[in-house]
Amino acid sequence: MGLFKLLAFPAFLPMGGVGWIASQVAGAVEAQWNDPKRIEAALLRLEERLDAGEIEEPEFEAAEAELLAELHAMRARRAAVAP
């Protein structure tokens, strides 16, 4: 068994590296996705669009409600995980 591992090591090394890279990317995406600043920036852009006349009040209110619900859910998840 030891000889097989020694001979197979070069063949399996790239797969381990790909797995590590995938886990790093997944961690970074999750951290960014769960960052409240992302939603706060989206709320600010939404308000700027309203002020510029690009969207109407009902559309603004609907989008704002969705973003605020997402922000509240995110904060609740973070509070549940925090010690």
Helix, strand, coil shares of the chain, percent, nearest 5, are 90, 0, 10
In a domain, 66, yes or no: yes
Domain that holds residue 83: 30-83
Pull the structure tokens for residue 22. 């995938």
Look at the chain and report how many structural domains it folds into: 1
Question: Is residue 69 in a domain?
Answer: yes
- Residue 82 has phi, psi (to 5 degrees) of -65, 140
Q: Which two tokens stand for residue 74?
A: 């995110």
The pLDDT profile of the chain, 83 residues, written as one tens digit per residue, is 566 666 666 666 666 667 777 777 877 777 777 788 999 999 999 999 999 999 999 999 999 999 999 999 988 888 887 66
Q: Is residue 55 part of a domain?
A: yes
Q: Does 61 map to a domain?
A: yes
Q: Which amino acid is at 69?
A: A
Give the global pTM. 0.62
